[in-house]
């Protein structure tokens, strides 16, 4: 099968282009789609664009962020390419993969599953290893050595855990309403039990609140925005747990609580410009 990405759509926006690609992923064993937003080339004094990976939340595809966030305006001005992958393998027809919105298809949790039934759910390796290599080999206008990462909800969990375990690969991280302590919330417990089995030590390898005690050589401030009217705040997201863990090891963290905002892309679109600028600073633009 063809590993090389094939362009399947292109739309101009703020002087740059949203381009969607399809490729076969050896890591996941299926075809995958992803978006790249290429900024207006005149906005960039460097020869290549640094990359900012966005990891989406439960039930999302590669399309949600590109169509709803409005991130392209400032990304084009700052000269940052946005990379928006999908949230899980698709089309594998594993029994039960689409039975619920918070597990299986659209809910890869950015981990490498160890249970045989879900062996293709290796979104951690896809995001950290396969996708950067694919981008580097096929898009000469991208500088994948200059990368940052952010995300929303499940994707915020993915961004934080991937960043902490790969501080040499990413310059900065931020998140909207992230699942920061999945070992202690229903979404995480359901996903981890099925993907990883009952070994709680394995669960902690994908929990930002647990990881921060081990991977705390963080130089760039971690930015988190959280809506106070988010219905998932108190039982699923648990930002205070991550705040306490960061404080214990002196990791620079800025958590901004926003009155009246919920868990939606309306919330994300409101504060997305701050996040793009946060990463522009981290990428030294």
Q: Which of 25, 62, 230, 275 is catalytic?
A: 230
Q: Which of 23, 157, 263, 279 is catalytic?
A: 263
- Catalytic, 153? Answer yes
Q: Which of 25, 153, 172, 174 is catalytic?
A: 153
| Per-residue 3-state assignment (H helix, E strand, C coil) for the chain | CCCCCEEEEEEEECCEEEEEEEEEECCCCEEEEEEEEECCHHHCCCCCEEEEEEECCCCCCCHHHHHHCCCHHHHHHHCCEEEEECCCCCCCCCCCCCCECCEECCECCCCECCCHHHCCCEHHHHHHHHHHHHHHHHCCCEEEEEEEEEEECHHHHHHHHHHHHCCCCCCCEEEECCCCCHHHCHHHHHHHHHHHCCCHHHHHCCCHHHHCCCCCCCCCCEEEEEECCCCCHHHHHCHHHHHHHHHHCCCCEEEEEECCCCCCHHHHHHHHHHHHHHHHHHCCC
Active site residues: 153, 230, 263
């Amino acid at each position: 099968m063809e590993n090389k990405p094939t362009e399947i759509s292109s739309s101009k926006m703020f002087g740059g282009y949203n381009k969607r690609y399809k490729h076969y992923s050896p890591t996941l064993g299926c075809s995958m789609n992803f978006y790249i937003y290429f900024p207006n080339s005149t906005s960039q004094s460097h020869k290549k664009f640094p990359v900012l990976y966005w990891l989406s939340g439960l039930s999302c595809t590669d399309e949600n962020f590109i169509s709803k966030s409005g991130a392209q305006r400032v990304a084009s001005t700052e000269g940052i390419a946005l990379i928006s992958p999908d949230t899980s393998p698709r089309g594998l027809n594993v029994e039960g993969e689409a039975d619920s919105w918070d597990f299986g298809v659209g809910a890869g949790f950015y981990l490498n599953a160890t249970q045989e039934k879900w062996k293709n759910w290796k979104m951690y390796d896809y995001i950290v290893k396969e996708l950067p290599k694919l981008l580097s080999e096929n898009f000469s206008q991208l500088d994948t050595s200059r990368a940052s990462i952010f995300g929303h909800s499940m994707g915020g969990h993915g961004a934080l855990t991937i960043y902490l375990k790969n501080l040499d690969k990413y310059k900065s991280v931020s998140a909207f309403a992230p699942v920061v302590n999945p070992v202690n919330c229903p979404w995480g417990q359901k996903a981890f039990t099925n993907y990883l089995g009952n070994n709680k030590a394995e669960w902690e390898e994908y929990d930002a609140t647990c990881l921060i005690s081990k991977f705390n050589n963080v130089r760039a401030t971690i930015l988190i925005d959280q809506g106070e009217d988010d219905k998932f705040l108190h039982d699923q997201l648990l930002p205070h747990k991550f705040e306490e863990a960061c404080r214990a090891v002196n990791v620079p963290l800025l958590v901004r609580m926003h009155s009246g905002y919920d868990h939606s892309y309306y919330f994300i679109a409101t504060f997305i410009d701050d996040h793009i600028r946060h990463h522009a600073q981290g990428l030294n633009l």
